[in-house]
Amino acid sequence: MLNKLTIQNYAIIEEIEIDFSQRLNIITGETGAGKSILMGALSLILGERADSSVLVNTQKKCFIEGVFSIDDKPEVLQFLESNELDIDHELVLRREIGSNGKSRAFINDTPASLQQLRQLASLLVDLHQQFDTLELGDSDFQREVMDALAGNQSVLQAYQLVYREWQSVAKQLTELKEQKSAFTKEADYHQFLFDELNELALKENELEELDQELKVLNSSEGIKAALTKVYFDLRESEQPVVTLLKQMVQQLQPFSDMHKDLQALIERLQSTQVELQDIASETDHINDSVVFDEQRIEWINQRLTEGYKLLKKHGLQSTGDLLELQASLAKKLEAVLNIDDTIQQLEKEMQRLQDEADGFATQLSKARKEQIQPLETNVNQLLKQVGMPNAQLKVSIQPGTLHVYGKDQIEFLFDANVPAGQSNTSHRFEPIRKVASGGELSRLMLCIKSLVAKSINLPTMIFDEIDTGISGEAAKQVGMIMKEMASGRQIICITHQPQIAGKADAHFFVYKEIVNDAVKTNIRMLNQDERITAIARMLSGEKPTAAALENAREMIMN
């Protein structure tokens, strides 16, 4: 509920503050007094884009603030929590337009984006203007009306969970079938590449190890000569190194007790002798293992040629790369074999979800269809009350394919001129968006919203001059409908009709005044006597007659 609206330096409004009633708030005033300016200012805190041209006094910033009570709005509290905004029993929306034209938005004093402001405002205010009735012809709005009347919210939520899961599985299935098609086209080529690698049967690091072995084999004669010379010098020459070390130990041994450092030196020589003996043995062993094998060289060369050919073919660098490629190809070939089983499983899951979704959709459709006759009857009766006795609404619900809201194709059909006595089987019914005029749409929307308001917790509803083109009894009925709607929610209505103004719980009057040689718009709440005078002027002109005053008094009392 909008408790307070404060406007400063907006168009010809210098500063006004309005404290709204919880019920039916009526705003009246002469044409051009500035009622539309009020709506323009209000629309800014509802997320509309700002225009610096609204700044008449460019030395000051424009300031619009709305204070809302949100105790009965769990969806608003959820929005504030999810957007990490301060939560209190009151909500403050504010817009500021600087003298440079830059606009800023705030939610509870926290800077916010226009998108956040719009989302939050949609939960707080339903702004209904004469030319904002195009949504009445929108299929989503029509579906929302039927679901609100049918109480379909919980079933719709359950359906949408299943529907989205069904869509997800359907997407997976489509992608898998496309993947299978691609795999099938490439399967033969992948099999050829795999067979080529499988036939070579490489082992980890094999090409690198063979390359090293080939280097050894090709240099085997030089390696053996070097190893033989080392072994000979260590063990078999005229003065073998190992024997010389043994002799050195024997020469020093008799004097080991005579000098403190000799024993350590002897031990080092003995250790070196043992190490060189071991080196000699290892040299001899290696020498025996190095064999010039022409057949082995030929086999390795052939093996390396085949391996390097595949490396070059696939643009790879090592044996490990080829083995990774082989494993990847094996997985792709295995996937081709297993993909049909996966497709079959997904098809079964998709059918299960589709059947479940169809069950929920049928439930939704049944509940919607049960509301067709009551909605048509009630709306058509209300249309008579608001001065459209020959107008009728007809609701068409046709089966279609499953979509995010079920399987119904919902269309509101309208005929503004049903001949007297003729039922709604007239062939002149056409979609609302094609045939209804602006004034007809406004009254039709009021009738529908008045019915929907009984089924769901609508936000504050603002009606901006939707009573254009009606008067007398029709205007009185519109006022009665609004009065009834206001028993359960806040209504703010700008009107030129005295019959509607007479129903107000709070009557505000917009007027122009001269302040410091400048025309300004102001607003004040009228007391009982001022209301009677204002309504009388709406009935008979600037100087109301006694009859007009009496009539106005009767309108207020009734």
Q: Is residue 451 part of a domain?
A: no
Which residue, 317, 341, 357, sits at the end of a domain? 317
Residues 211 and 299 in one domain: yes
Residues 10 and 123 in one domain: yes
pLDDT higher than threshold 60 for residue 133: no
Residues 119 and 223 in one domain: no
Residue count of the chain, please give it: 558
pLDDT higher than threshold 50 for residue 415: yes
Mean pLDDT of 405-433: 76
Buried b / exposed e along 348-382 (16+ C-beta atoms within 10 A): ebbeebbebbbebbebbbebbeebbeebbebbbeb
Which residues pair with residue 408 across a beta bridge? Answer: 399
Tell me the percentage of the chain whose pLDDT exceeds 90.
23
Residues 103 and 81 in one domain: yes
**Per-residue pLDDT at 164:** 96
**Residue pair 12/63 in contact by the 8 Å Cβ criterion:** no
Q: Is residue 396 part of a domain?
A: no
The 10s digit of each residue's pLDDT in 111-124 is: 999 899 888 888 88
Residues 79 and 106 in one domain: yes
The separation between CA 324 and the C-alpha centre of its own chain, rounded to angstroms, equals: 40
Tell the residue number behind the tokens 């809302």, with chain if given: 68
Which residue, 262, 286, 317, sits at the end of a domain? 317
Which residue, 268, 294, 317, sits at the end of a domain? 317
The DSSP line for 485-539 is HTTTS-EEEE-S-HHHHTT-SEEEEEEEEEETTEEEEEEEE--HHHHHHHHHHHH
CA–CA distances in Å: residue 517 to residues 170, 431, 514: 71, 53, 6
Residue 530: partners with Cβ closer than 8 Å, 6 or more residues away: 509
Residues 503 and 556 in one domain: no
| Run of H or E including 554 | helix 546-557
Residues 2 and 120 in one domain: yes
Residues 107 and 6 in one domain: yes
**Per-residue pLDDT at 5:** 93
- How many domains in the chain? 3
Residues 519 and 554 in one domain: no
**Per-residue pLDDT at 199:** 87
- Radius of gyration of the chain from its Cα atoms, rounded to whole angstroms: 46
**Per-residue pLDDT at 130:** 44
Residues 96 and 211 in one domain: no
Q: How confident is the model at residue 418 (pLDDT cuts 50, 70, 90)?
A: low
Tell me the percentage of the chain whose pLDDT exceeds 70.
93
Q: Is residue 376 part of a domain?
A: no
Q: Is residue 222 part of a domain?
A: yes
Residues 98 and 215 in one domain: no
Mean pLDDT of 392-410: 93
Between 130-139, 343-352, 484-493, the lowest mean confidence (pLDDT) is in 130-139
Q: Is residue 409 part of a domain?
A: no
Q: Is residue 296 part of a domain?
A: yes
pLDDT higher than threshold 90 for residue 396: yes
Q: Is residue 169 part of a domain?
A: no
pLDDT higher than threshold 90 for residue 466: no
- CATH number, residue 45: 3.40.50.300
Q: Which candidate, 427, 512, 525, places its Cα nearest to that of 33?
A: 512
Q: How confident is the model at residue 422 (pLDDT cuts 50, 70, 90)?
A: low
**Per-residue pLDDT at 457:** 67
Higher pLDDT, 532 or 488: 532
Mean pLDDT of 152-168: 95
**Per-residue pLDDT at 137:** 61
pLDDT higher than threshold 80 for residue 153: yes
Higher pLDDT, 180 or 185: 180
Between 29-43, 131-145, 153-167, the lowest mean confidence (pLDDT) is in 131-145
Summary mean pLDDT of the chain? 84
Residues 125 and 3 in one domain: yes
The residue segments making up the domain with residue 500 are 1-22+29-130+465-471+490-524
Which residues pair with residue 7 across a beta bridge? Answer: 16, 64
3-state secondary structure of 44: helix
Q: Is residue 139 part of a domain?
A: no
